[in-house]
A = this chain, B = another copy of it.
Amino acid sequence: MSERRIGVWLIGAWGGVATTVVVGLLALKHKLTDTVGLVSALPQFSGLDLADWDELVLGGHEIRDTNYATEAAQLHNQSHVFAEAWLSKLGDELKAIDARVQPGTLHGVGAKIESLAGAAARKHLGESAGAAVERLAKDLELFRQQNALDQVIVVNVSSTEPPVNDSVRTQTWAAVEQQLKEGSPCELPASSLYAVAAFRHRFPYVNFTPSVGTNLPALEEYAQLQNVVHVGRDGKTGETLMKAVLAPMFANRNLRVMSWVGHNIFGNLDGKVLDDPENKANKVRSKDHLLTEILGYKPQTLVSIEYIESMGDWKTAWDHIHFQGFLGTPMVLQFIWQGCDSLLAAPLVIDLVRFAEREARRGGAGIMGHLASFFKSPMGCEEPAFALQFEQLLAWAKDISGK
């Protein structure tokens, strides 16, 4: 019998990643699966007293009209993941979580995402940023109360928004707060409004998407004021993980990368949204800066992300790395990554929930830079190499467990 009750609030609650988080957590609770893929289940973290599967209560915001049974069945049929038998077994519990999904906000999400919205979310179309925050914060508080939760971790796993204007980067929290209070025009996109709502209740916020979220001076300021933890940006699941692992090898061996070409194809909803050049800009930027940071110079790079419907949730990346070795000799490394996107992302989301809850429990505040290994564009960390980022996570764990 567990004593803690921890809420997990998923923004983009019926999307592929969130659906996999939900199905996965239920499967773990019912021991239908093992913990492969979960970083937080490694022996190195066993002494941290992380949240257990049956301590987690699920809910979330969403802008489409659908439900878990439908989304999970589609993932199974299109992408050949999960056992079909699980879905009927977990049916009632999925419905109970469906009932805790509330309409999200469309404020600043861009035309592409807006076009996906269902009736429930459309009802709030045109609401001011201030009104949106009020509504979202109320949803969070209700979730906490109705489920008698000790803590709520808010995680953004919704589709990628277009980039924000640079002007919003110079605003102070005071200025933003004023706009929200007065219901006056505000440039914060949805991903940031959810964070404001979370921070209002001192709930930790994790941004798993390339959207800006809390990666703004005003939001970082507000987090400090509220003494709340947060982290982001853009989960590092596939091709970019490979870059963060391979680029240090070239750097450490003094092999000069002349060009690094990466083509990504996949066919899930995320892919459809990224097919819009406005939304894609955020993603490509997030995938591309890494090489220069690691190598110390800028090779010619090319990153493409293309929506190929037949691929479903399977993301295939082909990377061609043209490098110069000793005496000017050109050589080539190519890799082909065939991973199931939601299945790669979902366990990391669960890890982040557990690590963020633990850090909040011990009284941490501000950006959790030690979680950099999970992100393409990590906040609070200058180290771009994956192996060294992971060492920071281990150091944090040692610090907590006192070993």
Taking Cβ atoms with an 8 Å cutoff, the residues of A that contact B are 20, 23-24, 27, 33-39, 41-42, 77, 80-85, 241-242, 245-246, 248-249, 252-256, 258-259, 261, 263, 265, 300, 302, 304, 306, 308-311, 316, 318, 320, 322, 324-340, 343-344, 346-347, 373, 385-388, 390-391
Could you list 11 further interchain pairs (A-B, Cβ under 8 angstroms) beyond the known A245-B248, A304-B304? A34-B328, A36-B256, A36-B324, A37-B253, A37-B254, A41-B254, A258-B310, A263-B304, A318-B320, A329-B343, A333-B338
**Dominant secondary structure at the A interface:** mixed
Identical copies of this chain, number: 4
Roughly how many angstroms separate A84 CA and B88 CA in the complex, as a whole number? 13
Roughly how many angstroms separate A347 CA and B245 CA in the complex, as a whole number? 22
A343 touches B318 (CB 8 A): no
In the complex, the chain B residue whose C-beta lies closest to that of A308 is B259
A346 touches B326 (CB 8 A): yes
A346 to chain B, nearest CB (A): 6
A167 to chain B, nearest CB (A): 31
B385 touches A308 (CB 8 A): no
Given A81-B327, A245-B249, A333-B336, do A255 and B37 touch, yes or no (CB 8 Å)?
yes
A361 to chain B, nearest CB (A): 22
Roughly how many angstroms separate A387 CA and B347 CA in the complex, as a whole number? 25
Residues of B within 8 A of A258 (CB): 309-310
Roughly how many angstroms separate A249 CA and B385 CA in the complex, as a whole number? 11
Option from B34, B241, B309 in Cβ contact (under 8 Å) with A249: B241
Interface centre among A241, A306, A322, A344 (most CB of B within 10 A): A322
A265 touches B261 (CB 8 A): yes
A84 to chain B, nearest CB (A): 4
Option from B249, B255, B318, B334 in Cβ contact (under 8 Å) with A36: B255
A372 to chain B, nearest CB (A): 13
A109 to chain B, nearest CB (A): 27
Given A338-B333, A386-B249, do A36 and B328 touch, yes or no (CB 8 Å)?
yes
